[in-house]
Structure 1
Amino acid sequence: MTAVHAQDQHAQHPTSDHDARVVLELTSSERVMILEEMRMFLTGVQKMTGALGQQDMPAVAEAARDMGQKMVHEVPPALRAKLPMEFRQLGFSVHRDFDQIALDADSLKDVSYSLGQLSATLQKCVACHATYQIQTPALNARH
């Protein structure tokens, strides 16, 4: 999806005061943990796209690998219990996707193929952000 296309899509959806996404009510520290991982994904995607632009496939593989299963850390049981199964499954599939991107970047060394894989993985990120919102009890009190 191009930036122009994304802007067009956004323009088709009028803003409202109601956010219909599923609320994940987390403590402040749980929220920080989830958002930290999302920022790490964003940083990794930036590294990947920069490396793809330079056709530096070893750097693409390294950035992707850093976002793969090795990035998964032990989620505290209390947090895991709060996260819907679909949310957890989507997160694990994104980590697996990045491991596959790393393997294929190493073996195929095909920028276009890696870009296609990255696009498919980012669709999962977009779907998750469109489905869920994270709130804490303190945030809810203000709304």
Structure 2
Amino acid sequence: MNLHTLYNTHICEICSKVFTIKKKYEIHKLSHSGIKLYTCELCDKKFTAKHSLKMHQNIHEGSKPFQCTLCGIRFSKKSSLDRHTYIHTGMKPYTCVVCDKSFIQKIQYTNHVKTHSGNRPYLCQECGKSFSRKDSLNVHIKSHSKS
């Protein structure tokens, strides 16, 4: 008898995530299939799990059930609250392996890493200057209109 049978766990064959509740495991497997059974009636965004749709609907309703216990700011998603708490703790879980700069959000880290690649695919049509990130190009383009 293996440990998974002993502890009644379910392991995703694709990503190795472990579940103790079979229903949650079954729902998780759908995330790899691309099948999205639940649709938001307001914006037509689709979801694999019913709870994901419910969390999404908080955005439309303006509901913010998750509150920071330190400063009182409210959030519509728990993940947003969790990320916010890094501000209070000083925790920056994403660290660049090239320059050791750290970031609170994964997207900040991902954008930063692009600056080290040397790849600058975003070209200003007005002056020819190139950028590694599209948002940097957009900020630059606005500087032309101020002149």
TM-score computed with the length of structure 2 as normaliser: 0.21
TM-score computed with the length of structure 1 as normaliser: 0.21
Structure with more of its chain in helix, by fraction = 1
Point out which structure has higher relative CO (alpha carbons under 8 A, 6+ apart).
1
Larger radius of gyration: 2
Structure with more of its chain in strand, by fraction = 2
